[in-house]
Amino acid sequence: MPTYQYKCCTCGYVFEEFQAMTDKPLKKCPVCSGNIERLISGGSGFLFKGSGFYITDHRSDDYKMAARKDKPVDKQESKTSGKEKAK
């Protein structure tokens, strides 16, 4: 769950609150019950890093598959040249 930062517009009190993204944002200051605003910082950056890591993981998997395909081709070429030498 992401951590949201809230700041009170009346007394300036700043605090953090663990909330799910589907939860409704808080509207009252716990100190003076005044209006508070949510400070959005770093939440979207964390999501971007997560998706980027997944793409990198997928790429490395494709690279391994390509490397496996290359090896059998090399062996076949060496076998063919060996038979020609035997004749």
Residues that bind Zn ion (CB under 5 A): 8, 10-11, 13, 29, 31-32, 34
| Beta carbon nearer to Zn ion, 35 or 77 | 35
Q: Find the shortest distance in angstroms from Cβ 17 to Zn ion.
A: 14
Rg (CA), the chain: 29
Compute the least distance from the CB of residue 5 to Zn ion, in Å. Answer: 14
Q: How far, in Å, CA of 37 to CA of 7, rounded?
A: 5
Phi/psi for 50 (5° steps) reads -65, -45
Return the H-helix or E-strand segment holding 7. strand 3-8
Q: Which is nearer to Zn ion, 2 or 34 (CB)?
A: 34
Residue pair 29/13 in contact (Cβ under 8 Å)? The answer is yes
Least separation in angstroms between CB 2 and Zn ion: 22
Q: Which is nearer to Zn ion, 31 or 39 (CB)?
A: 31
